[in-house]
Amino acid sequence: MYQDLREFIGLVDKLGALRRIDGADPRFEIGGITEVAAGRPDGPALLFDAIKGFPRGVRVFTNAATTPQRAALALGIDPTLRPLDTLKAWMEKRKTLRPHQPAVVKDAAFLQNAREDDKVDLAGFPAPIWHRHDGGPYIGSGSIVIMRDPDEGWINASIYRIQVHGRNKLTIQFDHGGRHGAIIAKKYWDQGKPCPLAVVNGEDPALFIAGFEYLPAGQSEYEFAGAIKGAPIEVYGGPLTGLPIPAHAEIVFEGQLLPMGETTLPEGPFGEFTGYYASEARPAPVMEVTASYHRNDPILLGSPPMKPPRFHFGLPFRAATIWQNLDAAGISDVVGAWQHVSQLMTVVALKQRYDGHAKRAALVAAAHSYMARIVVVVDEDVDPSNLNDVMWAVATRCEPSEQLDIVRNAWSSALDPRIPAADKQRGVTSHSKVIIEACRPFPWFDKFPPTSALSLAEAQEIEEKWGDKLR
Ligand SMILES: Cc1cc2nc3c(=O)[nH]c(=O)nc-3n(C[C@H](O)[C@H](O)[C@H](O)COP(=O)(O)O)c2cc1C
Ligand SMILES: [Mn+2]
C-alpha cells in the first residue's frame, strides 16, 4: 500500500489516470479545470505544476479519489471490481476494521522547510480561489484539522474548510456546533484559552477518507486511517503544539484558534457540494499561524466541492455505513446500497421476504441519509449504483398513489439550498424526505410481469463470448 500522498499519486499515474497540467492560474482556473475533468467519463486526477505566480515544484493535486477506481485504490481494495462490489468489499472491511494507534517517529519530512512567527507567509502556498464567487482563497478544501480534547486527551483529525486571510491568518468553518473540532475548541475557549491546533495539507489519502467518516467522539480518525491501511499512521510531535502530525504530510501549519468571543473574521461564501452558495459570509473562528512547515516541492491536496454528481469520493462511503446499519438492525437480504447526486439521493436494493420489508429498510436508510430528499428502494435485480436502472424501476414498479411516503422534519443542514433563508434564521435545518418504493408490490409479487431484460449474469456471459466483436 502507498505510504503517503506522493506514493498514491505514483499509483494513480501507473493506472494511467493522472494528467499533468502546467501554467494554470490559482484564481478560478485550477478550480475550473478540476470541475471539467471531474465531469468527464474518465474523470482523471490532476497534478498542477508551474502554477501561475509560483515556482515549478510547488504543486496542487485534485480529483484524488473521485472515481470508484481511485477510491478503491485509496482504501486498498482491488480497483478492478465493479463499483457495487467495491462498495460491498469496503462495507465488509469496515465491519471488521481494527483501530491502529498512530506510531510516533523521530523525524518528519515536513521539517525540510520550517518558518516561525514573523517569517510565516501563507502567500507562499498556492491556495486556489476555487469558484468564481468564493469569498477568497482556500488552502483547505480537503485538509485535516488536528486538535486534542483537553479533558480526555484523544485526538480529533477531520476535514473542515480553511480560508486564507492574509499573511498568518486562517479561518476554520464548522458546519454546526456538533462537529468534534467545534466541541473541542469551545472547551478551551470556555477556560479562557485559545485552542492549539495543526492543519495538515497534503495528507495520506487514508486520512482524507477517515476525516470524512462520522466517528464517535473519543475515536480518533488517526486510528481509523491506520485501520484502512492495516498499519499505524506515523506521526511526529509538532514542535510548538506537541500535537501528533503525520510525518509524511506535505504542508503543515501550527498555531492557535482564537476564542470567538475575542476575534472572528467573515468566512465564505464558498461553493458547496450541492452546487450552490447556500449562505453568505458568516463570522468564523480565526487561526493564528505561528509556524509553517513543508516538504521540498510540496503538494497541496485540493478537494473543492463541485456541482453534483461530482463528489470528493467516487464511492458513496456513507451508503456503505447505511448498508452496515441495515445489516446491524437485522434487516435481511439487502444486496446493495448506494448514493447518487453527491449523497443527495439514497438507494437500497433488497430481496423482499415479507410485506413491509422494503419500507422497513427505507425508513432506516432515510433516518441515516444526511441532506437526501430522495430515498428509493428497489428489488434485488436492480443495480442501485446504476441510476438508469433505478429510474427504470421507479417508472415501472412504483404506483405513486400507493408507494410514496413523506417523512417530515428529517435530517438536513444549513447548506440545504431549498430551506428558505427566513426559516434558516429561526433555526430550521430539517427538510422532508420522499420514500419511493420502486419494488414490485409484495402481495402480488409473483404475478408482476416478468422482465424481458438480460440478467446481469447473462449479460456478462455474452460480454465474455462476444465482447471482442463489439469493441
Ligand atoms: C472535502 C470535504 C470538505 C468538508 N468540509 C467541511 C467543512 O467545511 N465544515 C464541516 O463542518 N464539515 C466539512 N466536511 C465534513 C466533515 O469532514 C465530516 O462530517 C466529518 O465527519 C466531521 O468530523 P467530526 O465528526 O470529527 O467533526 C467536509 C468533508 C469533506 C470530505
Ligand atoms: Mn471526529
Q: Give the Å distances, CA to CA, from 457 to 88, 108, 295, 348, 464.
A: 18, 50, 50, 20, 11
Dump pLDDT digits (tens) for 254-280.
999 999 999 999 999 999 999 999 888
Classify 241 in phi/psi space as left (phi over 0), alpha (psi -120 to 50) or beta. Answer: alpha
pLDDT score, position 35: 98
Q: Average the pLDDT over 223-248 and give the result.
A: 98
Higher pLDDT, 56 or 457: 56
Q: Compute the distance from residue 442 Cα to the ligand 1 centre, in Å.
A: 40
**Could you identify the atom of ligand 1 that is nearest to the CA of residue 213?**
21
Q: Where are the beta strands (DSSP E) in 345-403?
A: 345-350, 374-379
Residue to substitute in 212, 257, 339 for testing ligand 1 pocket (most ligand atoms within 8 angstroms of CB): 212
Residue 337 and residue 369 in contact, taking contact as beta carbons nearer than 8 Å: no
Name the one residue in this structure whose C-alpha cell is 493506472.
15
Q: Cα–Cα distance between 108 and 247 in angstroms, integer?
A: 4
Give me the percent of the chain exceeding a pLDDT of 70.
Answer: 100
Instruction: From 363, 301, 373, select the one nearest 343 (Cα to Cα).
Output: 373
Cell of 127: 491556495
343 lines ligand 1 (CB under 6 A): no
Q: Could you give the 3-state DSSP secondary structure of residue 207?
A: helix
Question: Is 90 exceeded by the pLDDT of residue 434?
Answer: yes
State the average pLDDT for the chain: 97
Other Cβ atoms closer than 10 A to 470: 7
Q: Average the pLDDT over 305-315 and give the result.
A: 98
**Could you identify the atom of ligand 1 that is nearest to the CA of residue 215?**
25
Give me the percent of the chain exceeding a pLDDT of 90.
Answer: 98
Residue to substitute in 130, 146, 155, 179 for testing ligand 1 pocket (most ligand atoms within 8 angstroms of CB): 179
**Could you identify the atom of ligand 1 that is nearest to the CA of residue 157?**
26
Q: Give the Å distances, CA to CA, from 54 to 61, 124, 134.
A: 15, 8, 21
- Beta 265-267 vs 334-340: how paired, if at all? unpaired
Which residues touch 309 (CB under 8 Å, ≥6 apart)?
340, 341, 342
Q: Compute the distance from residue 340 Cα to the ligand 2 centre, in Å.
A: 25
Question: Is 90 exceeded by the pLDDT of residue 379?
Answer: yes
Q: Cα–Cα distance between 22 and 304 in angstroms, integer?
A: 19
Angle between helices 83-95 and 317-328 (to 10 degrees): 60
Residue to substitute in 66, 154, 160 for testing ligand 1 pocket (most ligand atoms within 8 angstroms of CB): 160
Other Cβ atoms closer than 10 A to 42: 10
154 lines ligand 1 (CB under 6 A): no
Residue 170 and residue 160 in contact, taking contact as beta carbons nearer than 8 Å: no
Give the least confident one: 57-61, 78-82, 234-238.
78-82
Sorting pLDDT into bands at 50, 70 and 90, what band is 455?
A: confident
Amino acid, res. 233 = I
Question: Is 90 exceeded by the pLDDT of residue 418?
Answer: yes
Cell of 269: 461564501
271 lines ligand 1 (CB under 6 A): no
pLDDT score, position 180: 98
Ligand nearest to the CA of 180: 1
**CA torsion through residues 413, 415, 419, 422, sign:** positive
Which residues, by Cβ under 5 Å, contact ligand 2, an ion? 156, 158, 180, 215
- Beta 162-164 vs 138-140: how paired, if at all? antiparallel
- Beta 430-438 vs 374-379: how paired, if at all? parallel
Instruction: From 100, 209, 196, 213, select the one nearest 148 (Cα to Cα).
Output: 196
Q: Compute the distance from residue 148 Cα to the ligand 1 centre, in Å.
A: 17
Q: Compute the distance from residue 131 Cα to the ligand 1 centre, in Å.
A: 19
**CA torsion through residues 284, 273, 159, 370, sign:** positive
Instruction: From 23, 253, 271, select the one nearest 129 (Cα to Cα).
Output: 271
CB-count exposure of residue 76 (10 Å: 0-12, 13-18, 19+): middle
Residue 27 and residue 42 in contact, taking contact as beta carbons nearer than 8 Å: no
Dump pLDDT digits (tens) for 155-168.
999 999 999 999 99
Q: Cα–Cα distance between 435 and 443 in angstroms, integer?
A: 19
Q: Buried b vs exposed e over 138-176: b needs ≥16 C-beta within 10 Å?
A: bbbbbbbbbbbbeeeebbbbbbbbbbbbeebbbbbbbee
pLDDT score, position 278: 87
pLDDT score, position 174: 96
Which residues touch 42 (CB under 8 Å, ≥6 apart)?
17, 67
Instruction: From 305, 293, 209, 298, select the one nearest 245 (Cα to Cα).
Output: 293
pLDDT score, position 471: 86
159 lines ligand 1 (CB under 6 A): yes
What letter does residue 194 receive in the DSSP assignment? P
Q: Average the pLDDT over 132-152 and give the result.
A: 98
Q: Compute the distance from residue 313 Cα to the ligand 1 centre, in Å.
A: 13
